[in-house]
Amino acid sequence: VSASVVVWHDLECGRYSADLPLWRALADREAGPILDVGAGTGRVALDLARHGHTVIALDRDPELLATLEERGDGAVATVLADAEGFDLAEARFGLILVPMQTIQLLSDRPAFLRAARRHLIEGGLLAAALAEALEGFDPQTSALPAPDVARHEGWVYASQPVAVRERPGRSTIERIRTTLAPDGARTAEPDAIDLAHVTAASLAREAAPFGFTAEPPGRIEATDEHVGSEVALLRA
Ligand SMILES: C[S@@+](CC[C@H](N)C(=O)[O-])C[C@H]1O[C@@H](n2cnc3c(N)ncnc32)[C@H](O)[C@@H]1O
């Protein structure tokens, strides 16, 4: 039995909350509706909907979106699409959010920026969180960060970061995902995520040709479990 994509997603992303005050403040201040890009199981989208905002959640993973719909009880509409070149016909948004470094996962950022600009009203805002430089650590010499652990239907799931490898233009975060079955059987599988190096300044330069003007970036402070983020604010 392999763990579902939802369990790992909730385990590795679902508990972060340091960014929510910033997204709520932007949602209160900017025009709507809001498009949440890479919404996953709706950590941000459902929070903003609970605060009275109209949110559309876009992701390319159907299982994550199905879970979001269930948890939101229909309060948040979902769109199954690739962020790199989505087309929502005539839909226009006052605010497009890309939380949790998702923009650094994209391989074609220009395609995303073009699509985002087309779906923003004049004067709308694109806000994207960007992880601050991750320090490469070597498990031989540094203490490992604590694993994320969850229990689900008698199973235990643990995700342990083991290395951050720096390469030109990208960082690879390596984890070991361990499951412990109710009968004691254990599995361990490596998982790696590649994050492109993107700063608010570099994104501003990339976004300018698509009609965005950069505003001073926002900030999300580091927590014990997460590095801090810059939040690029790009005005259409
Ligand atoms: C780090 S998670 C963030 C989830 C959620 N926004 C949060 O902050 O908790 C990244 C999400 O982006 C989605 N994603 C990654 N690449 C994507 C793409 N090209 N198009 C659409 N969604 C994508 C993944 O499926 C995943 O749900």
Cα dihedral 110, 79, 94, 122 sign: positive
pLDDT in tens, 151-201: 988 999 999 988 888 889 999 999 999 999 999 999 999 999 999 999 999
Q: Mutation test of ligand 1: which of 68, 102, 194 has the most ligand atoms closer than 8 Å to its C-beta?
A: 102
220-234 CB burial, b ≥16 within 10 A, e <16 = beeeeebeebbbbbb
pLDDT at position 1, please?
41
Q: Tell how far CA 2 is from the center of its chain.
A: 23
For residue 178 the two structure tokens come to 């361990």
Give the span between the Cα atoms of 108 and 127, in whole angstroms. 17
In 3-state terms, what secondary structure has residue 3? coil
Quick check: pTM over 0.85?
Answer: yes
Between the CA of 100 and the centroid of ligand 1 the distance, in Å, is 8
Q: Tell which phi-psi region holds residue 30, choosing left (phi > 0), alpha (psi between -120 and 50) or beta.
A: beta
pLDDT tens sequence across 65-111: 999 999 999 999 999 999 998 999 999 999 999 999 999 999 999 99
Residues 6+ apart with CB under 8 A from 184: none
Mean local confidence (pLDDT), 125-146: 78
What's the CA-to-centroid distance between 47 and ligand 1, angstroms? 16
Angle of helix 62-72 relative to helix 43-50, nearest 10 degrees, comes to 20
Ligand 1: atom nearest CA of 106 is: 19
